[in-house]
Amino acid sequence: MASQGAQHDRTDGTADPAAESPEPAGGSAGSEPQPLDPKVAAAIAAAEAAGPQAGTTVRVDSWIWSVRLVKTRSMGATACRGGHVRVNGERVKPAHGVRVGDEVRLRHEGRERVVIVTRLIRKRVGAPVATQCYVDNSPPPPPREAVAPAGIRDRGAGRPTKRDRRDMERLRGVTGPGSVPGLGPGPGGGPGAGFGSGSRERRP
């Protein structure tokens, strides 16, 4: 009897579809892409209509400008000539053609961008439309503190004093106190401070 009951339970469990698929029917709906805004979809359609025909390519300098990776097309061409643009790992010229699925790497303004081409356009579009033309695999940008220039004076602080100039020169590595050959630090402690009379040195 016990074996028949266990067999009956097994049979029931096998026959019940809910026992084998506990997940709800709509469980995979979350992985579906979100629908685009109608305005964005219309702009993408217009940009693709103005782009190349199927099977053709787009110049890389034109494409990176169209998707707003650079501000001007000439900046894109300059980046290509300088070796700062790579397509599928190879340095390319401005006229190199890109296709859907290509990986484009761009180093511009101290940041590296890594994108996968998903749409080919030749016309510059807005930022919401541009982000739909590639998959962004770029590393995070460096912190602002890492790229902040040194020696910046506050606005309205006036002309730098002699001490300020010495400190700025020391930061730049140009010179330091007493670095002029054959001359020691003068009364002011800086190079060339011993030239002239004391009254000229104290003149406002």
Each residue of 97-122: pLDDT tens digit? 999 999 999 998 888 999 999 999 98
Top mean pLDDT of 17-26, 46-55, 107-116, 170-179 is at 107-116
Q: 153: pLDDT confidence band, cut at 50, 70 and 90?
A: low
How many angstroms separate the Cα of 19 from the Cα of each of 3, 4, 5, 13, 15?
A: 21, 20, 18, 6, 8
Task: Output the pLDDT for position 14.
Answer: 47
Q: CA-based angle 143:149:155, to the nearest 5?
A: 115
b/e code 40-58 from CB counts within 10 Å (16+ = b)? eeebbeebeeebeeeeeeb
Question: Do you know the residue count of the chain?
Answer: 204
